[in-house]
Amino acid sequence: MPRTPLRQPAARLGRCLRTTTRSQPRSVSTQLPASSQSRLPTQQRRWHSEFSSVNPNEVEHFNALAADWWSPHGSSRLLHLMNPLRHDFIRACLASDDSASNAPPTNLRYLDIGCGGGIFAESAARLPTTAHVTAIDPTPSVLAVAQAHAKRDPALRGKLEYQPTSIERLAVPEKPYDIVSLFEVIEHIDDPGAFLDRVRPFVRPGGWLVMSTIARTWMSWFTTNLVAEDLLRIVPPGTHDWNKYINEGELRGFFAGKGWNSPKVMGVVYVPGLGWKEVRGSEKVGNYFFAVRRDE
């Protein structure tokens, strides 16, 4: 069944009210809400080949947005505006490496998971420090848009490769990637724990897993669901499910003790007319970037 967004903001508020009790973590630093605990594995649970992170309803929703993905004023305009901050965040992560010299690292290999129309993948491939970008997405129409747009720039040939697949169907390469990105992806996954377990082998030891997502708070419901989707329609209705949002403390708790280190976070806020801006502490209430480095 295709996802049909709630037509009235009050209806969504009623749903949130009904789920608040089971959605609030007892300890924000270590526990997920009850609605998310069922989606995250215990330490004993292992990823298995039958698991899939691909939700057919999510694929159908983003297929419908494919046509204007590259329009700076279309349904993906907030992603276009956020893209410079993605690169700023990655540069900050790389600069913090203990082994990093004054010069930026070169010949970097990226894996962009859930690449959509290729906004980040293209920009990463154009960097002089990039050797290659592999970008994957299970949404056919959106990936076709990404491939068609990349063909317009001959400089991307040999540096950017799109694959119509999911992470579960992608083979782990002999040489894992320096940077694996999950931008605006994790909040669309039904089982984020199993998904992140599957992603880990694709990050080389010492490499970075970077993502952006949204905290599950009343403020984020107000700004992303009520205002952005229902009232202003600057985001297509039905894009976000508030119950799938993940708090920063929950992510930290999930990665703890699983071969990751140096967690980093950057809260960001969308300011109409100015775009996305870094705001310290805003990761507690809304959009934020998060990264962890794989143990050497």
- Residue 20: CB atoms within 10 A of its CB come to 11
Give the lowest-confidence range in 18-27, 53-62, 110-119, 156-165: 18-27
Domains in the chain, ordered, with CATH?
56-294 (3.40.50.150)
Q: What is the pLDDT of residues 1-12, one digit of tens each?
A: 444 343 333 344
pLDDT at 57 over 70: no
- Residue 151: CB atoms within 10 A of its CB come to 10
What pLDDT score was predicted for residue 29?
Answer: 33
Q: Annotated binding site for S-adenosyl-L-methionine: which residue ranges?
A: 86, 114, 137, 183
Q: Annotated binding site: which residue ranges?
A: 86, 114, 137, 183-184, 187-188
- Residue 14: CB atoms within 10 A of its CB come to 12
What pLDDT score was predicted for residue 228?
Answer: 56
Give the lowest-confidence range in 35-49, 86-100, 133-147: 35-49
What pLDDT score was predicted for residue 231?
Answer: 58
For residue 208, name the pLDDT band (cuts at 50, 70, 90): very high
Q: What is the pLDDT of residues 257-273, one digit of tens each?
A: 999 999 999 999 888 88
What pLDDT score was predicted for residue 43?
Answer: 33
Q: What is the mean pLDDT of residues 98-127?
A: 87
What pLDDT score was predicted for residue 204?
Answer: 97
Instruction: Give the up-direction half-sphere exposure of residue 7: CA atoms within 13 A in the CB hemisphere.
Output: 0
What pLDDT score was predicted for residue 275?
Answer: 86
pLDDT at 30 over 70: no
User: What is the reported pTM?
Assistant: 0.74
What pLDDT score was predicted for residue 40?
Answer: 39
Decide: 230 and 244 in contact? Cβ < 8 Å.
Answer: no
Give the lowest-confidence range in 9-18, 84-93, 249-258: 9-18
Residue spans of alpha helices (H) in 75-191:
77-95, 119-125, 140-150
Secondary structure class of 144 (helix, strand, coil):
helix
Give the lowest-confidence range in 63-72, 172-181, 263-272: 63-72
pLDDT at 180 over 60: yes
Pick from 254, 185, 182, 191: nearest CA to 211: 182
Q: What is the mean pLDDT of residues 277-282?
A: 89
Run of H or E residues at 112: strand 108-113
How far apart CA 94 and CA 76 sit, in angstroms, is 27
pLDDT at 47 over 50: no
Q: Annotated binding site for Mg(2+): which residue ranges?
A: 184, 187-188
Q: What is the pLDDT of residues 212-265, one digit of tens each?
A: 998 888 776 676 665 555 555 656 665 667 678 899 998 998 898 999 999 999
CA 246 to mean position of chain CA atoms: 11
What pLDDT score was predicted for residue 294?
Answer: 97
What pLDDT score was predicted for residue 2?
Answer: 41
How far apart CA 201 and CA 111 sit, in angstroms, is 12
For residue 102, the one-letter residue type is: N
What pLDDT score was predicted for residue 272?
Answer: 82
CA 181 to mean position of chain CA atoms: 7
Higher local confidence (pLDDT), 71 or 281: 281
What pLDDT score was predicted for residue 33?
Answer: 39
For the chain, the average pLDDT equals: 77
- Please give the share of the chain, as a percent, with pLDDT higher than 70: 67
- Residue 278: CB atoms within 10 A of its CB come to 14
What pLDDT score was predicted for residue 274?
Answer: 85
